[in-house]
Amino acid sequence: MKFKRIVAVDETLLNAEALEVLKSMGEEVVVYHDFPTEEKEVIRRIGDADCLLVSFRTPIRKTVLDACPNIRYIGMCCTLYNPESCNVDVIEARKRGIVVLGVKDYGDEGVVEYVISELVRLLHGFGGVRWLDESTELTRRKVGIIGLGKTGRMVADALKFLGADILYYSRTRKPEAEDAGMAYRELDELLTEAEIICTCLPRNNYLLGEHEFSLFGNRKILVNTSVGPTFQLEALKQWLKECPQSFYLCDATGMGALAEDLKDIPNVLYTPYISGKSVQSVERLSQKALANIRTFFEESAQR
């Protein structure tokens, strides 16, 4: 089985080996390596394709699906956390019988390394900026994890290994985490008690507003590993202004489209790289994206 036309509509990060394999999966394969900024360009690129590959950055809304009725399969070359928060209108696509599959667990290792690296630099002052008056370790620091999915649990485990006291907030309690010595707190309690907060949430989950930042207070650190902000922008800016000894840390994925808004705030420590992107993560992503297409072929043949 083959697709008639496969379009990778933006930079999906599939490596060269995977792109060669992709050529065997479609009669025609078109691959783009940039990010279209207008929907009409997205529609033009997709055209009559029956297979669409897309990263987490390009919106594929109902209007795109209306304009491209031949799509049978959408391969999200990113994590499909939940249908409501995706850049792809998964719910609408599935109503139309379009199969949508995402890729899981490919970039978490790099994200964990980023969190540890940036916290250690800030706590010790290795990068020229130090959190407290004196250098401090992670040992016995109270770290709160908001969102204890795969990434959140990996971050929590790494920080716990380095001696931090781990608290967590999640929509559901995690007995296995509590058995490992991680303490559950309601969100308000977590913000009050923790010195460092790491948000590990699906995109478009804006949990932190004015009330939450007022509880968090000064001499605190917020690290964001999510896709885009997990806060209300003005509330974050006000917190950083009123609490000059607090810091916000994020990479390019966490920053999203807010770089211009936050560029002049001195206690924003921005790393303009995607922490989940590495040789290893790209290989994992590529192999899993291809495996999803094979799964689609196998299940289609059984219908």
pTM of the model: 0.86
Q: By mean pLDDT, which of 39-43, 82-86, 166-170, 221-225 is the weakest?
A: 82-86
Distance of alpha carbon 255 from the chain centroid: 10
Is residue 43 within 8 A of residue 68, CB to CB? The reply is: yes
Domains belonging to the chain, first-starting first, are 3-104+279-302 (3.40.50.720), 108-271 (3.40.50.720)
Beta strands in 165-281 (DSSP E): 165-169, 183-184, 196-199, 221-224, 247-251, 268-271
Q: For position 84, what pLDDT does the model report?
A: 78
Angle at CA of residue 38, ends 37 and 42, nearest 5°: 100
**pLDDT tens, position by position, 16-35:** 999 999 999 999 999 999 99
Q: Mean pLDDT across the stretch 242-256?
A: 95
**pLDDT tens, position by position, 79-123:** 887 777 789 999 999 999 999 999 988 989 999 999 999 999 999
**Alpha-carbon span 289 to 187, nearest angstrom:** 35
**Alpha-carbon span 292 to 235, nearest angstrom:** 40
Q: Mean pLDDT across the stretch 2-23?
A: 97
